Structure 1
């Protein structure tokens, strides 16, 4: 059951392909622009307050952080992207690393892209989604911080994003409203992620 996701704990961090754990089992990657609410989403999904606090401050070494759910299932936290402060050579390294990870990682079962519901589908979001679509992997967008909007505003934003995603990627990308604060959409997202991980 997807409740197993609550067992997630820090496992390992990788700055390059050599440092990745063995390419086996199933893993789901989480991506999101800086301040989109990715850490809050991971914490809400795992019902832990500080799981994703291992996360990096802007501009520090970029790495993939693996959280182990079971020996065969992992959540992978990709560094928050969109920071102008990151040096260009580090941006280039990260771009090459993430590109290779998406092209070659057999354990990768799906991608969750976290977007602030008030500022969705920026260039970076589309780029990450296209990585998954090109690999034929399922992707799911969480429109976070939904508690900042009224219910009617949430529906308007959700429908707009659905339409844009359909035009760009067909039916390969799911989308939902989400709030780590109010726990809106947590069970729905857990069901999807748990399904990808085979939990």
Structure 2
């Protein structure tokens, strides 16, 4: 466990591009389907219980939430995607916000795409990966809830996801991850360290 991440603190939330903090330093964004375990992953990686707010209600994260690691580095929790009950107008607003954030943010050093290991590579995941590829952003896929599978099938799924991404021409690293068992934390920290220059 890298103690550096324990100093993460909530910085700001924004629903419009004008509300984002200054575009300087480095940040890593976490994206994923609603209820894929994104907020839980951020909390475990920062060794804090309630840094990112988790909810059993999908679609709860409706803003871009920034967490400062120091005065030059940030983690970013993006709105969950793919939740059908969200009103169409709100979904469209999120898409515009995400498109501009991913397309224009100069301090964005990498994108962690969080997927439930039992349901990886949905249509919305591919859309997010496509945005990252267009921008030539480094991508790391976190296959969460790996505790729901035995180790063999979990590793098989990780390999299958990596193969599918490779066939699609998308460069990405892939790993199983369990917030419940705190498995895969060191591997994920290794990726974040490299992107954030730690």
Normalising by structure 2, report the TM-score: 0.94
Alignment of 1:143-158 (within 5 A): 143-158=143-158
2:49 maps to 49
1:186 counterpart residue number: 185
Distance 1:181 1:41 in 2: 9
Quick one: distance in 1 between partners of 2:165 and 2:30?
A: 18
Matches of residues 48-197 of structure 1 in structure 2 within 5 Å? 48-53=48-53, 58-59=58-59, 62-170=62-170, 172-197=171-196
Q: RCO (CA 8 Å, sep 6+): is it higher in 1 or 2?
A: 1
3-state DSSP of counterpart to 1:12: strand
Post-superposition Cα deviations, 1:165-199, rounded to whole Å, max 9, x if no partner, equal: 111134x2110111111111100101101211112
Asked if structure 2 preserves the Cα contact closer than 8 Å seen for 1:17 and 1:101, the reply is yes
Q: Across the two proteins, how many residue pairs are aligned to each other? A: 198
Q: Is the 8 A contact 2:115 2:143 kept in 1?
A: yes
Secondary structure of the 1:182 match is: coil
Q: Is the 8 A contact 1:5 1:194 kept in 2?
A: no
Coordinate RMSD, CA, aligned: 1.8
Alpha-carbon offset, residue 155 of structure 1: 1.6
TM-score, normalised by the number of residues in structure 1: 0.94
Mapped partners of 2:116, 2:18: distance in 1: 33
- Give structure 2 stretches of 5+ with no counterpart: none
SS at match of 2:24: coil
Is contact 2:59–2:80 with CA below 8 Å preserved after alignment? no
Shift in CA distance, 60/21, structure 1 to aligned 2, threshold 3 Å? same
Q: Does the C-alpha gap of structure 1 residues 55 and 104 become closer, same or farther in structure 2, counting only changes over 3 Å?
A: farther
Contact 1:30/1:76, CA 8 A, preserved across alignment: yes
Cα distance in 2 for residues equivalent to 1:169 and 1:129: 11
Q: What secondary structure does 1:52 align onto? A: coil
The DSSP-based 3-state class of the residue aligned with 1:97 is helix
